[in-house]
Amino acid sequence: MARRALSTAGGGEIGIGSEIINSFSLLEILHANQFEGEVFDQKLIEQTEENFYRGAPPNWLNFYISEQAESNGTGTSFIKRDGYETLKKQISQRGKGLGTSAIELFHQQGCGGTTLTMQMLWDLRKTFRCAVLTGSTSDIVKVAKEVVHLFTAGNRDSNTVLLLINDDFLSYNLQDSIMEEIAEQEIAIDMPVVILLNCVRVSDVVMSKKEQASTEQLKGKASKRIILKRSLSDTEEEQLVKKKEELSRRFGDRCKQFHGFNILQTNFSQDYIQDVCAVFKKAKRANKPLKAQLAAFLSLLNAYVPGSYLQESQCLDFLQHDNPVYGNCSIEHYMNPFGHLIVTFHQDINDERKVSMAHPLIAQCCTELLAIAGVTRSDTARNFLTNFCRDQPPPCLLGFVKDLLTKREMKKEGTSITEQKELFSRLILDITKKEGTIQSASILKVASKKFDQNPFFPQALARFCSKEQNNFDEAEKWAKTAIKRDPQNSYVADTLGQVHKNNLIYLKDKKVPTKPRKILQLAKKAINAFEEEKRLAENEHWNEKKGDGKTKVLRALNTRGQFGYLEVCNLLYDHLVGLDEIWKKLLTKNESLGIVLRFLGDTKLFGFDSLIKSLRDKVEKNFEFFDTFLTYSTSNKKNDDASYVSKKAAECYKKYIGDSAPDDKLKQTLHKLRQKLAVTSAGVLSCINRCTSADAENIATWWEEVYRSKDLPTEAFSNYIFAKIMLTNMEGILSSSDNQSDFRQKMSLATEMKPEFHMLKLLVFWPTDDEDKQDTDLHQLIKNVQHSYEQEFKTLFQDRYLLPLFFFGKGEGLNRFVHRRTVEIWWTQDALKDANTNWKNENIFKDTVVQEKLLKVEGVVRNYKLYATFRETETEIHANRRDSLWKSGKVSFYLGFTINGPLAFSIQRTTTEGPPRKLLGASGNETESSEWTKLEPEVTIMDEVYTYSLHCEKGLYECSLSALRWVCEGRVSFSYRFRSWDEHVNKPVCINHIPAGPLMDITVTAGKMEEVHLPHWFCIDKNVSRSDAFVVLHVDADGDFVEQVSEVTPSHVKLNKPVFSPKGAMILKKLGFKVKIFFDVLIYMRIRTKLMLHVYPMTRDPALQQAVETEEKDNGFRRIRKPSPTKPLRRNSDVSLSADTDGATIRPDNRTLTCTWSTQNFFEVEIDKSESEFSLILKDKQKGTMENVVWSCTILTDDIETKNINNEEGKHFVDRHRTALIERVNEISPILDSLLDKQLISQDKYDYIRNKIVFPTSRDQMREIVDMMRLEKQSKDTLYEILKERETLRYLMSDLEGSK
């Protein structure tokens, strides 16, 4: 067997020893040379294949066998579902970036999702370092360490990790942990560290929700997830038919039992499934043989618990056989006539064999057929628990039983999916529906007694007794049993409070006549239970914080106790006030208990005096807790903060605050603020979600009264300013003051202020572009916010995501502070729609309206840290996405503010080169351009995509970069991007046309255009100017279509009253005469041992030219800008390239000038490093010899990269910038690698410089390198070339070369 190997970034392999292999406990590594050199028994190969096609989960050997069969011609590869190519393309795109990224694939059970992702890893094992996360995800830092270890294994031969995970909530946390680990180890990277392939199996209900979300994202062009369902495309069906023919030739009649494959091949046919399961139609309830019982157990388990199985030894013990190969018969043989529906398999060669049904759809069908035959689900479940859960069952079985009886799925009401989960597991719900509540309760009782130390079965039973049977005494008994088994678990303690709360609900809903004393007794029991839960939750939370806080994914603070308290108080209020209105005065503290009791005549109620007195204050405290909790933060897990929590908490609070106002004027004002839920800073900051603009104006007025009163609360001033800001966000009222002078006054009044005050002060004092200098210490202001946050909120929010409260807009004074809800409304275009924004993924910032209205801040990334820059000062800022900090250089970002200070969103690289000065020079004939006013667009770059934005009043305009023209009768704002023609030109609607101009995705954000003139690149004469020769393609969500143009000019095609979608000009393929096009010639160069040029003759398509630019830069080339040809050339002309210098090699001999999309249509020119200028000549091969030159240019010596090595005094670049290089170059390892490869240093010197004891910092290492290279000019030249080739040093080198 060959030594295990990992792939390298260069496409090679590096062998690794057992020490590295054994160091991974959480990752299963798929090696680059997996199984190579191994010899397998033919019987094992056949059995492995058969097991898979019958329904066993795939293993790596399956893919090896398939690959070998394809290579030797004895078979074909696995059928790849349609999502395969999309997934592969996404992985390829991520492989060109830096840092970390994640791709999501959601799939229904049994549709091939796991197989697809494993196939992807297998196919890419020689490109990436592929692994599967098999260990616990609770120790997230350990997972990150193993990922980084796999990335760096092999010392100098690092390579990107492609990691398969199956946790929908893990991606962001793991990416941040990997980032921290890379920074901690001071690893310099020039490639992606990891691509997370998140393969999540979801229920049918959740799948519907994912599809809906994906559809909505696609409208915003942001969807990156892949969804795999139990439904085949026509192409998949055709491929599977051919595969079935192949399997029939190889395996004969055995194919009839390949149920896993056959179900897929028949497009999940219910007829096929019913047919193969027909044997269960004859099942009997009494006197069932053991094998029939075992088949029923497996069916029930696999139908309700995805991925479940039984161990083979358990099955054999049950069947009273203790030898798995007794008589050389398999367990399938013993199980006949059910054997063909069962598979046995190894997931790990060291583990025991596992047994399951061949497919989950077969399991579901068998379970239903058994129920029809009288073998009910409850009978099977009870029998299974009795026979397989004796003594001490294995942990895996306990987990399956727990999921079977207690795991709750998302709830579906009608066609919509709610935020809430079902009350019980799918099995318990089905038994209740089909057999009644007694059978469900019986099953849960059996489990509670069988697993007598487990709290979750009695917990589920208590919930069932109270919700389904209204048996509250029984429910209380089982809730207390659960608590006794796990007395420190707050989630288990929650059930007792829920039982008493459900009792109150029952009495209210059923209108059961109940005395106040009984209601108060139940409420007191529920409140005591919820307060005990709150105490336990705080203990859990505190104990988790006592560790290093990094070793695992922290469990969220359980807030059900506080919410349960409010729910009970709400019910108590409704009950008592419903009996007599006088209770309202008592509960709102407007009357004493004594007065009320004299009225009611029940002195025994005095026993509840302390409870009643405490209610209002505790309701207020719990409401303010949730208001703060949900305004400033959100759960890191999806759907963990249900929207109804805030609404129900506010509903209860308003009841206990009441309508009666106090006598004192200040107290009256505070009471009004309480009634509007705006008595705290969090309340004021939330008023945009729950108040009218008139309410907001009142809130601002009331807080001004409080702020200017003598009895000044310390937070009143900040709440007053917050209220003014909220008012400007809701009404657009302009405020010229930013209140800086007020803040300077207030700072002297209090030494200890709350985080809200410090955050607001930071907002107000943040410098603007029109300030000459920064007159405040931003660093100190940020420290003040963070220190105050640590004291007030850190423990509460440590395991939650802090929400942005404000962003900077383009206004002045208080008008520049944009509330997050305002940004959401810009994004959704609907003030009533709940955005449910995922701020972590930053998709909201891809919206052109948001981009237009928010202000970008300039900054720089160094050593994985971000600094905001203002004039000559830099201030460190935290990044919302740590994985945005991989590449050093200048950046821009949107600045948000959380309760913990500033946070950078949507960090984008800024390039010193910028886009081309003019992206499109339509035809060269600009005689009609004088009437058009030219506008320069604003250019933003996100994910390497350029967006161009323009704003204008009434008039005729032309974009100076793209030549796009438009006519408008009023103010218009719009943006556009260039799109690829590639995916559209082969569609039927385009079959008779070819692209004639750029495909432009135009989005109008304000106003409308009367006309739009799209540029084209064809040479217009009397033949081509016919408008019927041109059409415009519209790319629409419902399908592409073409539209006739209104007019054709020498440079544009015109559309009247345009409706916008991605659109571009096209021309008929066959016009009956030759047509000419204007074209560009792009030149890219790179110097290594020789000068290499790539010369592109190509259409003036900006999207294609930008794609070429990106690809060439990725390969280390840079652009040489030369004038484009001025004369057009016939389409499909063959052109040749020559160079007037000795030793030039040019490949190929000729290229065709086409309108098709290709980044490979270039000439490659290889020249020994030239010390003198030379010319490039492009010729039309179809013309006569006297007129065949269509373009030429001269490559000057200054065009070659060596121009900046020496300055005019003859001082070398390395000598001139020695200090700057030592200070600012921090990625040392790649430079050492290159020096070693070029044999400028020895292996000993390489190891010496990498020694952290001798050279503890990157500065020390770089100083040694520079001083060593300075001894000879050739060494300095080579070091210069190495530095120039580093993409991460591009901005530094450009900066240094531009300095004097």
Question: Could you tell me the pLDDT band of residue 559, with boundaries at 50, 70 and 90?
Answer: very high
Question: Could you tell me the pLDDT band of residue 384, with boundaries at 50, 70 and 90?
Answer: very high
Q: What angle do CA 234, 238, 241 make, to 5 degrees?
A: 135
Name the one residue in this structure whose structure tokens are 């999207």. 1103
Q: What is the pLDDT of residue 990?
A: 78
CB burial of 1076-1102 (b: ≥16 within 10 Å; e: otherwise) equals: bbbbbbbbbbbbeeebbbbbbbbbbbb
Q: What is the pLDDT of residue 914?
A: 41
Is residue 264's pLDDT more than 60?
Answer: yes
| Nearest-angstrom CA–CA distance, 605 and 548 | 50
Q: What is the pLDDT of residue 443?
A: 97
- Assign 3-class secondary structure to 522-553: HHHHHHHHHHHHHHHHHHHHHHHHCCCCCCCC
Q: Which residues pair with 1193 in a beta bridge?
A: 1176
Question: Could you tell me the pLDDT band of residue 919, with boundaries at 50, 70 and 90?
Answer: very low
The DSSP H or E segment spanning 666 is helix 665-675
Q: List strands edge to edge, sheet with 955-959.
A: 933-935, 955-959, 965-968, 1011-1015, 1052-1056, 1047-1048
| Nearest-angstrom CA–CA distance, 235 and 405 | 40
Q: What angle do CA 326, 328, 334 make, to 5 degrees?
A: 65
In order of 13, 136, 140, 141, 182, the CA distances from 146 in angstroms are 20, 13, 10, 9, 12
One-letter amino acid for residue 1086 of the chain:
R
Question: Could you tell me the pLDDT band of residue 434, with boundaries at 50, 70 and 90?
Answer: very high
Instruction: Classify residue 786 by burial, with Cβ atoms within 10 Å: 0-12, 13-18, 19+.
Output: middle
Question: Could you tell me the pLDDT band of residue 554, with boundaries at 50, 70 and 90?
Answer: low
CA dihedral 1181, 1184, 1189, 1190 (to 10 degrees): -70
Is residue 444's pLDDT more than 90?
Answer: yes
Question: Could you tell me the pLDDT band of residue 749, with boundaries at 50, 70 and 90?
Answer: very low
Comparison of pLDDT for 178 and 1156, the residue scoring more? 178
Average pLDDT of the segment spanning 381-410: 91
Residue among 367, 358, 361 at smallest CA distance from 335: 358
In order of 272, 562, 598, 1122, the CA distances from 646 in angstroms are 49, 12, 37, 62
For 1191, the token pair is: 């373009």
Could you check whether the bond before residue 767 is cis, i.e. omega within 30 degrees of 0? Answer: no
Question: Could you tell me the pLDDT band of residue 1169, with boundaries at 50, 70 and 90?
Answer: low
Rg (the chain; Cα; Å): 36
Q: What is the pLDDT of residue 639?
A: 57
Q: What is the pLDDT of residue 989?
A: 74
Average pLDDT of the segment spanning 1122-1141: 86
For 293, the token pair is: 């019982």
| Nearest-angstrom CA–CA distance, 143 and 161 | 13
Is residue 898's pLDDT more than 70?
Answer: yes
Q: Which residues pair with 1212 in a beta bridge?
A: 1206
Is residue 203's pLDDT more than 80?
Answer: no
Dihedral pair phi/psi, residue 1261, rounded to 5°: -65, -45
Q: What is the pLDDT of residue 823?
A: 93
Q: What would the pLDDT profile of 796-812 be if each residue is shown by its tens digit? A: 887 789 999 999 998 88
Q: What would the pLDDT profile of 710-747 be if each residue is shown by its tens digit? A: 665 667 888 999 999 999 998 756 555 555 566 556 55
Dihedral pair phi/psi, residue 463, rounded to 5°: -65, -40
| Nearest-angstrom CA–CA distance, 488 and 347 | 37
- Name the percent of the chain lying above pLDDT 70: 87
| Nearest-angstrom CA–CA distance, 880 and 861 | 14
Average predicted confidence (pLDDT) for the chain:
84
Give the best-scoring range by mean pLDDT among 677-681, 747-751, 752-756, 1000-1004: 677-681
Is residue 36's pLDDT more than 60?
Answer: yes
Is residue 472's pLDDT more than 50?
Answer: yes
**Residue partners of 1001: CB distance under 8 A and separation at least 6:** 976, 977, 978, 979, 1035, 1061, 1062
Question: Could you tell me the pLDDT band of residue 1208, with boundaries at 50, 70 and 90?
Answer: very low
Q: What is the pLDDT of residue 219?
A: 40
Residue among 193, 133, 153, 122 at smallest CA distance from 21: 153
In order of 76, 114, 209, 417, the CA distances from 204 in angstroms are 32, 16, 9, 11
Question: Could you tell me the pLDDT band of residue 922, with boundaries at 50, 70 and 90?
Answer: very low
Q: What would the pLDDT profile of 104-158 be if each residue is shown by its tens digit? A: 898 888 888 999 999 999 999 999 999 999 877 778 889 999 999 999 987 667 8
Is residue 28's pLDDT more than 80?
Answer: yes
Average pLDDT of the segment spanning 217-244: 76
Is residue 190's pLDDT more than 50?
Answer: yes
Is residue 704's pLDDT more than 70?
Answer: yes
| Nearest-angstrom CA–CA distance, 300 and 403 | 12
Comparison of pLDDT for 78 and 220, the residue scoring more? 78
Q: What is the pLDDT of residue 1205?
A: 47
Is residue 1217's pLDDT more than 80?
Answer: yes
Residue among 396, 382, 391, 229 at smallest CA distance from 300: 382
Q: What is the pLDDT of residue 266?
A: 94
SS3 content of the chain, % helix, strand, coil (to 5): 45, 20, 35
* Cα 1129 from chain centre: 47
Name the one residue in this structure whose structure tokens are 């800001």. 725
| Nearest-angstrom CA–CA distance, 364 and 721 | 61
| Nearest-angstrom CA–CA distance, 964 and 962 | 5
| Nearest-angstrom CA–CA distance, 830 and 849 | 13
Q: What is the pLDDT of residue 892?
A: 92
Q: What would the pLDDT profile of 495-504 be if each residue is shown by its tens digit? A: 999 999 999 9
Is residue 65's pLDDT more than 90?
Answer: yes
Q: What is the pLDDT of residue 1027?
A: 60
pTM: 0.72
Question: Could you tell me the pLDDT band of residue 600, with boundaries at 50, 70 and 90?
Answer: confident
Question: Could you tell me the pLDDT band of residue 567, with boundaries at 50, 70 and 90?
Answer: very high
Average pLDDT of the segment spanning 65-83: 87
Residue 801 and residue 839 in contact, taking contact as beta carbons nearer than 8 Å: yes
Q: What is the pLDDT of residue 551?
A: 43
The DSSP H or E segment spanning 483 is helix 472-485
Question: Could you tell me the pLDDT band of residue 1241, with boundaries at 50, 70 and 90?
Answer: confident
Average pLDDT of the segment spanning 413-428: 75
| Nearest-angstrom CA–CA distance, 1023 and 1004 | 34
Q: 3-state class of 996 per DSSP? A: coil
Comparison of pLDDT for 765 and 1243, the residue scoring more? 765
Q: Which residues pair with 857 in a beta bridge?
A: 893
Is residue 945's pLDDT more than 80?
Answer: no
Average pLDDT of the segment spanning 918-944: 63
Comparison of pLDDT for 771 and 1285, the residue scoring more? 1285
